[in-house]
Amino acid sequence: MKKFQTVIEPFIIKSVDPIRMTSEKERIVALEKAKYNLFKIPAHMILIDLLTDSGTGAMSSEQWAAIMRGDESYAGSASFDRLEKTVKELFGFKHVIPAHQGRAAERILFSTICKKGDIVPNNTHFDTTRANVESQGATAIDLVIPEGLDPSNTHHFKGNMDIIKLEELIKNNKDSIPVCLLTITNNSGGGQPVSMENIRAVRTLLDKYGIPLYLDACRFAENAYFIKLREPQYKDVSVKDIVLEMMSLAEGCTISAKKDGLVNIGGLLCTNNDSLAKKEKDLLILTEGYPTYGGLAGRDLDAMAVGLTEVIDEDYLEYRIAQAKYLGEHLISLGYNTIQPPGGHAIYIDAKSTLDHIPSLEFPGHALAVEFYKTGGIRSCEIGSVMFGTNDTDTGKEIPAKMELLRLALPRRTHTQSHIDYVLEVAKDIIDRKNNIRGLKIIDQPKALRHFSASFELL
């Protein structure tokens, strides 16, 4: 046991953004103006923004210094050389292709590898990944282990792939599976990790059928740290070596550097497949840019190279995972039901059981999101029937989503311990009077992706 238990932020603050304090009265006006849609609230009206951990982290002074070194040459930029060298060292892949963010890397991978009628298995597709598979006319199938779908189950690796179901799927569709993915950590499943044992088992199975494995590795460092903490034989292995071992089991990966790249914009597509890399680079030139910049500025490539090396620092990862755990465990002690155990980048409150007086189609997750904003200026994100509810094509009736979650995502290196304590104080105030919280109804919505722009009314 260590002598001191307090996990401190392993950095000091050198540059600050002020938070503008607001009153509950001002926030009620802002909510009414935004028609109760938190995406429409201006950022200066938010105290603590836990909407997403994507591109919202703080860069280090080394990253800002790297930005000044950016080489903006159209072709052959030295910034690309530095990024390529770093990525090859960290991940071991032969080809490194930059892209402006994760979904651009996904689009290029699936456009070159998939065709109409194909099937792509994954533990759980992230929404952009699913959309990019489906836009090729292929089918995206999620095969996470059953424990991964049970919010209260405390299995250590709830992101694991169900190997038996994967083998069944492959046996029944031998010639139509061009690639298999594993999302580390499993974002849509609550930021839950995948074990090295499972990655290896997936790879062994795929080898039998000649199918390549790709990692959706947006949170590769958080996943590696969970492996170190929870998989006994990796206790004394460095995160750096765990990352290299995870990647060595795959033919390639797609990455949104807005997560564990510790930058505000950027993405990567990596592969060991020479002929695929050639096709991918040709497509990149058509839609993103020349392969030594891929739709980014040279300075962005340099910031990404530095971010990728900083994120595997184990003091950073200890603090990162401890912050999520602290928030998650305290919410539970206040009486919230959450997805267990706490994931790497966010805490997911089960709003359906926490606010059990609000029916799914009155949006308990969204009602809680509105309450967190009104009470404390905290922005979060509903992942439930507002985001994933659908209309029955025959009756036009609304069908609720499987779960009604509220996600509190943690931007990297951005919020202090007192910010988290403040969130918990607000959470306590809310749960103490939870029976008075009202649901909402949608009064106006677009055809698709309604959570971004729908208007609501309190019931």
Ligand X SMILES: *Cc1c(COP(=O)(O)O)cnc(C)c1O
Q: How far is the CB of 340 from ligand X (least distance, A)?
A: 20
Candidate segments 43-51, 97-105, 160-168, 398-406, binder of ligand X by CB under 6 A: 97-105
State phi, psi for 382 to the nearest 5 degrees. Answer: -70, 130
Cβ 124 to ligand X shortest distance, Å: 9
Site for ligand X in 44-73 (CB under 6 A): 54
Nearest approach, Cβ of residue 52 and ligand X (Å): 8
Q: Which residues, in sequence order, are CB contacts of 268 under 8 Å at separation 6+?
A: 87, 96, 97, 98, 99, 105, 253, 254, 255, 257, 261, 304
- Name the residue nearer to ligand X (CB basis): 248 or 264: 264
* 155 in Cβ contact with 124 (< 8 Å): no
User: Which CB atom, from 187 or from 338, has the smaller least distance to ligand X?
Assistant: 187
Cα separation, 284 vs 314, in Å, equals 34
Minimum Å gap between C-beta 54 and ligand X is: 5
Cα Rg for the chain, rounded, in angstroms? 22
C-beta of 217 vs 358, nearer to ligand X:
217
Among 267, 328, 344, 364, binds ligand X (CB under 6 A): 267
Minimum distance of ligand X from residue 187's CB (angstroms): 4
Q: Which two tokens stand for residue 199?
A: 């990655």
The pattern of x and - marking residues 157 through 186 that bind ligand X according to CB under 6 A reads: --------------------------x---
Minimum Å gap between C-beta 106 and ligand X is: 6
**Is 412 within 8 Å of 57 (Cβ atoms)?**
yes
> Does residue 256 bind ligand X (CB under 6 A)?
yes
| Nearer to ligand X among residue 189 and residue 212 (C-beta) | 189
Nearest-approach distance from CB 42 to ligand X, in angstroms: 22
Helix, strand, coil abundance in the chain, percent, nearest 5: 45, 15, 40
Q: Which part of the chain contacts ligand X (CB under 6 A), choosing from 62-70, 253-261, 281-289, 332-340?
A: 253-261
Evaluate whether 121 touches 164 at the Cβ level (below 8 Å).
Answer: no
Picking from 111, 26, 30, the residue whose alpha carbon sits closest to that of residue 283 is: 111
Restricting to residues 415-434, which ones interact with ligand X according to CB under 6 A? none
Q: What is the DSSP string of 17-86?
A: -PPPP--HHHHHHHHHHTTT-GGGS-GGG-SEE-S-SSS-SPPPHHHHHHHHH----SSS-HHHHHHHHH
> For ligand X, what does the binding mask look like between residues 99 and 118, x meaning CB under 6 A?
--xxx---------------
Number of residues that bind ligand X (CB under 6 A): 15
Site for ligand X in 123-142 (CB under 6 A): 126, 128-129
Residues 321-380 contacting ligand X, CB under 6 A: none
Cis geometry, peptide bond prior to residue 185 (ω within 30 degrees of 0): yes
Taking the complex as a whole, the smallest distance from the CB of residue 246 to ligand X amounts, in Å, to 15
Residue type, 50: L
Minimum distance, C-beta of residue 256 to ligand X, in the bound complex (Å): 3
What's the rounded Cα separation, in Å, for the pair 380 and 370?
9
Give the DSSP H/E element, type plus range, for residue 267. strand 267-271
Binding site for ligand X (CB under 6 A): 54, 101-103, 126, 128-129, 183, 187, 216, 218, 256, 258-259, 267
